[in-house]
């Protein structure tokens, strides 16, 4: 998978027709859920420290990701 999320310990997360993979070193990759492999986007959480081992979750339209030091919430206020 290029760009790759690196080493992944957490479960992937299906959101609509896309799958989120979160690597231990803060890299995220989103791929299209379907028969053909297609990377939709990627990002790196720059302002967060720690290692991400926990599976991401969604609540009320927000994405929750937890490292060994912080809980991050991504979404609109």
Dump pLDDT digits (tens) for 21-64: 998 888 999 999 999 999 999 998 876 678 899 999 999 999 99
Given a cut of 70, whether residue 2 has pLDDT beyond it is no
- The residues near 45 (Cβ < 8 Å, ≥ 6 apart) are 26, 28, 65, 72
pLDDT at res. 44? 87
**pTM as predicted:** 0.82
pLDDT at res. 49? 74
The hierarchical CATH code for the domain 13-74 is 2.40.10
pLDDT at res. 3? 66
Alpha helix (H) ranges present in the chain?
none
pLDDT at res. 48? 65
């Amino acid at each position: 998978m290029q760009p790759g999320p690196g080493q992944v310990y957490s479960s992937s997360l299906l959101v609509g027709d896309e799958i989120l993979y979160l690597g231990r070193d803060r890299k995220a990759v989103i791929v299209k859920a379907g028969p053909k492999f297609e990377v939709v986007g990627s990002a790196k959480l720059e302002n967060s420290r720690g290692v991400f081992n926990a599976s991401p979750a969604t609540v009320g339209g927000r994405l929750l990701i937890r490292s060994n030091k912080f809980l991050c919430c991504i979404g609109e206020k």
